[in-house]
């Protein structure tokens, strides 16, 4: 699995920016502002990648829209983790037939993890002729060049060569989440959990250099960002490919040392690699939130082994206990897959027991979805969809009850929150506590980006409700 590090240098990015300048002249001819719609599916890494797509598009002179009928370019950044996400993408790509008919010169691009799978690229090639450009995650850095080629030629462009991935520093980025920012520290995954497609589509683990991560964090703080999430499929592997001079705990301390008032979060941590050194760093870094997203996936040892997770339920529970010793106020969240091939009802009961024992603040629960090319996809899977759904519903009931109980225990407390945007309810704002709990509060939009004290007055399964303390 030796990975040959591939770095896309500043001169290569500069060449892409030169393409952006040429395309700007093309798209803004006659003084108009062209519009782009960028639609993102899936995880935070994809959100972060879409910011790079938008960065390039902004350099080409594009403004942004949510209306596909107004868009000159549509970019759909896809997810491959579950079939459901792929079905939604295909449905929405198909629906673009209407806007393309009304506006035949519209350029439709599909990128991201889904198209990195050869069978999906083929499907787009043969069944979705409205799509002009398809490119995988490893080609993102050269989106301008691919777009120029799409415009120049009569042929559709497919750039989805298999590969281990690269690191591209210095590409433009249009952030849209202020006061929150994503900061990728590494890309790819080497874990090959038997159900998961990520290692096949995102390539091998590769870490950005610590100095590049810190420089980006510094510039985010200088630009007024208040909540920085360090991203990676398994941040605990950070640095291994760099010769391990700096591991993730060291990196956390380096970012924490940047002056200014801001919060640091990170995701995702793999339980097998969550070290005591990391937990100590979390506890000691005053800017680091005491929130650990520690996906357990299942509570039964046979299932965990078949999943290739590299830990037992007991080892997982030990990590949780250790983390809570370092951080008694720890907020713990997790991911769980229900209906892994061969999982029996009795094995699933072990998951329920573990969930009760840990008492998660929030859980993300998924029905197993077979992924082409993964080991689990060829395992016998006798349980029916209905039986799996029944277990899923049982898990959800337990998860919701525990979350509601945890949330109720906040009522009456006064906590500092960062107001991060308007909430869907008119006149209400959305905010987060230091440890990541969602709090809705009444207030004006002038509070967005500020740290304020809030008294918690109510709660439900998903959120807290509070009032500003004057
Ligand atoms: N790297 C992260 C997240 C990977 S994908 C991690 O390891 O935690 C996010 C979640 O999707 C996983 O934690 C898992 O619970 C779920 N998932 C991944 N593959 C899946 C599949 N084939 N079917 C159902 N859920 C899946
Ligand atoms: Fe997928 Fe496992 Fe890697 Fe997470 S750690 S991305 S679940 S293979």
Q: How far apart are CA 64 and CA 86, in angstroms?
A: 24
| Longest Cα–Cα distance in the chain | 68
Dihedral sign from CA coordinates of 257, 258, 263, 267: negative
Ligand closest to 309 (CA) is 2
Q: Where are the domains of the chain?
A: 7-159, 177-289, 297-307+316-408, 414-468
When pLDDT is averaged across residues 35-56 and rounded to a whole number, the result is: 97
When pLDDT is averaged across residues 311-330 and rounded to a whole number, the result is: 98
Res. 1: pLDDT tops 60: no
Fold of 414-468: OB fold (Dihydrolipoamide Acetyltransferase, E2P) (2.40.50)
Alpha-carbon dihedral 227, 230, 233, 236, rounded to 10 degrees: -130
- State residue 227's pLDDT score: 98
C-beta neighbour count of 379 within 10 angstroms: 14
SS (H, E, C) 50-98: HHHHHHHHHHCCCEECCCCCCCCEEEEEECCCCHHHHHHHHHHHHHCHH
- State residue 4's pLDDT score: 85
- State residue 160's pLDDT score: 95
- State residue 375's pLDDT score: 98
Domains 177-289 and 414-468 share a fold: no
What letter does residue 470 receive in the DSSP assignment?
A: -
The protein residue whose alpha carbon is closest to atom 1 in ligand 2 is 196
C-beta neighbour count of 137 within 10 angstroms: 25
What DSSP assignment string belongs to 371-431?
A: -TTSSGGGS---S-HHHHHHHHHHHHHHHHHHHHHHHHTTTT-EEEEEEEEE-SSTTEEEE
When pLDDT is averaged across residues 21-37 and rounded to a whole number, the result is: 94
CA 300 to chain centre: 27
Atom of ligand 1 nearest to the CA of 335: 15
- State residue 3's pLDDT score: 79
Q: How many CA atoms within 13 Å lie on the side-chain side of 319? A: 22
Rounded to the nearest integer, the mean pLDDT of the chain is 96
Alpha helical stretches, state H, 110-142: 118-127
Atom of ligand 1 nearest to the CA of 370: 22
When pLDDT is averaged across residues 120-137 and rounded to a whole number, the result is: 97
- State residue 24's pLDDT score: 96
Q: With a 6 A CB cut-off, is 232 part of the ligand 2 pocket?
A: no
Residue to substitute in 81, 191, 392 for testing ligand 1 pocket (most ligand atoms within 8 angstroms of CB): 81
CATH of domain 7-159: 3.40.50.12160
Q: How far apart are CA 361 and CA 293, in angstroms?
A: 10
- State residue 229's pLDDT score: 98
Q: How far apart are CA 195 and CA 374, in angstroms?
A: 6
Pick the CATH number of 177-289 from 3.40.50.1950, 3.30.360.10, 3.30.750.210, 3.40.50.720: 3.30.750.210
Task: Give the length of the chain.
Answer: 470
pLDDT digits (tens, 9 = 90+) for 251-308: 999 999 999 999 999 999 999 999 999 999 999 999 999 999 999 999 999 999 999 9
Global pTM? 0.96
pLDDT digits (tens, 9 = 90+) for 419-463: 999 999 999 999 999 999 999 999 999 999 999 999 999 999 999
CATH of domain 297-307+316-408: 3.30.750.200
Residue to substitute in 47, 295, 298, 365 for testing ligand 1 pocket (most ligand atoms within 8 angstroms of CB): 295
> pLDDT band for position 154 (50/70/90)?
confident
């Amino acid at each position: 699995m030796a990975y040959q590090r591939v770095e896309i240098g500043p001169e290569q990015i500069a060449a892409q920016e030169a393409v952006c300048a040429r395309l700007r002249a093309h798209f803004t001819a006659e003084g108009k502002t062209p519009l782009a719609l960028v639609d993102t599916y899936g995880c935070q890494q994809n959100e972060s990648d879409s910011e790079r797509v938008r960065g390039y598009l902004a350099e080409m002179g594009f403004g942004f829209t949510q209306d596909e009928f107004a868009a000159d370019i549509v970019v759909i950044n896809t997810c491959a983790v579950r079939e459901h996400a792929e079905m939604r993408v295909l449905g929405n790509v198909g629906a673009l037939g209407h806007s393309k008919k009304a506006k035949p010169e519209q350029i439709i691009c599909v990128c991201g993890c889904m198209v990195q799978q050869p069978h999906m690229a083929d499907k787009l090639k043969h069944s979705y002729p409205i799509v002009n450009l398809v490119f995988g995650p490893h080609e993102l850095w050269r989106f301008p060049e691919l777009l120029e080629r799409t415009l120049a030629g009569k042929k559709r462009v497919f750039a989805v060569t298999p590969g281990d991935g690269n690191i591209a520093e210095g590409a433009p980025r249009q952030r849209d989440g202020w006061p929150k920012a994503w900061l990728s520290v590494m890309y790819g995954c080497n874990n090959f959990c038997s159900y998961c497609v990520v290692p096949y589509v995102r390539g091998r683990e590769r870490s950005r250099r610590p100095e590049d991560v810190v420089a980006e964090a510094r510039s985010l703080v200088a630009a007024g960002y208040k909540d920085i999430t360090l991203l990676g499929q398994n941040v605990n592997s950070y640095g291994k490919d760099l010769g391990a001079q700096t591991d993730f705990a060291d990196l956390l301390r380096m970012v924490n040392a940047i002056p200014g008032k801001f919060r640091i979060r990170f995701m995702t941590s793999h339980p097998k690699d969550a070290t005591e050194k990391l937990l100590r760093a979390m506890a000691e870094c005053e800017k680091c939130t005491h929130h650990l997203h520690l996906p357990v996936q299942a509570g039964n040892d046979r299932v965990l082994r078949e999943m290739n997770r590299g830990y037992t339920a007991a080892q997982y529970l030990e990590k949780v206990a250790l983390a809570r010793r370092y951080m008694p106020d720890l907020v713990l969240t997790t991911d769980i897959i229900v209906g892994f091939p061969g999982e029996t009802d009795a094995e699933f009961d072990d998951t329920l027991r573990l969930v009760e024992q840990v008492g998660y603040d929030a859980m993300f629960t998924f029905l197993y979805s077979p992924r082409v090319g993964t080991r689990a996809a060829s395992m016998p899977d006798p349980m029916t969809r209905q039986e799996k759904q029944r277990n899923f519903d049982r898990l959800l009931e337990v998860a919701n009850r525990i979350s509601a109980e945890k949330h109720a225990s906040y009522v009456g407390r006064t906590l500092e929150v960062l107001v991060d945007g308007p909430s869907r309810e008119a006149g209400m704002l959305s905010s987060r506590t230091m440890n990541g709990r969602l709090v809705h509060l009444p207030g004006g939009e002038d509070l967005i980006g500020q740290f304020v004290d809030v008294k918690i007055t109510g709660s439900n399964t998903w959120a807290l409700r509070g009032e500003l303390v004057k």
